Amino acid sequence: MSIDLSWQRVTLLASVIFGIWSGFSSWGEARELVDQSGHIVTLVERPLRIVTVAPSLAEVAGDLLVDELDRIVGVSEHTTFPPALTNRPSIGPFFKLNLERILSLKPDLVLATKDGNSREEVRHLRELKLPVVVVSTSNLGEVSRSMELIGEALGVPDRGKRMSAQFNAGLESLRKRAAARKIALHILIQIGMDPLVVAGGNSFVSDAVSVLGVKNIYQAAEQPYPRPSLEDAVIKSPDVILIVAMSSNVHELQHSEGKKWRSFQRIKAVKDNRIYVLPGDRILRPSLGLLEGLALVERTLFP
């Protein structure tokens, strides 16, 4: 059978192909976005293959895309929220990304964070021509802005704005309750066990906990997560020690860390038996879940 390709047919075929192509290209039209690291990122209108490279980012993106979670195609290790994302292909832990896996997922949007992901790895991803949107969450204002930015990146700016407003409203009501309490507690927020790592004033955790009207004894530290000596912590004698458990084993930590601290009876928190262990996945993640975490801290500190 011979195929007769007359000029008319060729022209018709070409115009049909062009029509389909231009239809597709306008559907996936490119747009530009300035992220929180100051980079201009070119993105498709509605990203369909999203990779999140930190658990908090999966949580925010998951909340914003609650009815279309299949758009998220890869997540970092230890992603726990929303539960539907836990079986997505892993791209490694947030502190050491597996670039091969990320590239093989062919993402049209990679969500990364300045506070956790390595600068060098983010730079490498950008050099591989992947559209990387970086958020910054070193204080509550930035967390709120990051929600809006993620909404814009995902192509759902209104939902992002709503989430940010909900977050700010939640914080405001916590602040009001704190103002009514008028109790000034000095707190040590312990993040790491051996060696001792605490949340300094430049971390969003400290910023968040201070919403409850408490004062971080390491507020003045320059680093977000400094490693003070145990001696220094003993001399500062906080009213409360709040241990944020990175692992899920809260009870075990309550026992082991409690035992360690109890040998320093001159610490006020030890004397008053005010050493608390709380799960980290609600407190250490700059997402809407932080409000739940703060409510939990509030109930614990001011029963």
Residues that bind other proteins (CB under 8 A): 77, 90-93, 95-96, 98-101, 103-104, 118-120, 124, 127-128, 223-225, 227
Residues in the chain: 303
We find the least distance from the C-beta atom of residue 1 to other proteins, in angstroms, to be 36
Phi, psi of 202 (to 5 degrees): -90, 15
**Residue number, 118 or 173, with CB nearest to other proteins:** 118
Compute CA 273 distance to the chain's CA centroid, rounded to the nearest angstrom.
Answer: 32
Residue 116 C-beta: closest distance to other proteins, Å: 8
Closest distance of CB 11 from other proteins, Å = 34
The minimum distance between CB 96 and other proteins, in angstroms, equals 6
- 227 vs 271, beta carbon nearer other proteins: 227
Q: Whose Cβ is closer to other proteins: residue 156's or residue 233's?
A: 233
User: Can you list the alpha helix ranges (DSSP code H) found in the chain?
Assistant: 7-27, 55-64, 99-104, 119-127, 140-154, 157-181, 204-210, 230-236, 250-262, 268-271, 289-301
Q: Which is nearer to other proteins, 191 or 288 (CB)?
A: 191
How far is residue 213's CA from residue 227's CA, in Å, rounded to a whole number?
24
Residue 274 CB contacts under 8 Å (≥ 6 apart), including other chains: 239, 240, 241, 268
Tell me the closest approach of the beta carbon of residue 76 to other proteins, in angstroms: 10
Compute the distance between CA of residue 269 and CA of residue 183 in angstroms, rounded to an integer.
15
Question: Judged by CB, which is closer to other proteins: 114, or 177?
Answer: 114
